[in-house]
Structure 1
Amino acid sequence: MPAPFAAPPAPRQGAEPRIDLALGLQVARAAKAVGVTPDALVEDAVRLYLELGPGEVARLRSGRA
């Protein structure tokens, strides 16, 4: 009698971005400071970027220098 096969993993609904360890640590610390999960913080940041658009983000970044 053959061994049963494990069920395939459930399909993911979203992308899982890869970030370096240092950035991941910054995200985790910032999320903890405001009382949200790191995933929620990143999702909010991405939504803000998409809402503002790359031109406005670039303008805001250049103004902080």
Structure 2
Amino acid sequence: MKKELYVTNPPMSNTNQESAQEMISDKELLSQFKRLEAIPNEPKKIVKEMIEAFLLKTECNKS
């Protein structure tokens, strides 16, 4: 079963950015997510699919 992940997110407000900074303790990862916000939607969609695939694989391997 293929899980589809298509999410469109509006640009983050200052409050949302502050929340993200509080939730993501890995500063390098947070920096990468901020940089991803600036890329076009099509490549961004591919990155999201790759992240989702990696997470699913990791979760399945735990079982």
Give the alignment's TM-score, normalised by structure 1. Answer: 0.28
Relative contact order, higher structure (CA 8 A, sep 6+): 2
Structure number with bigger Rg: 1
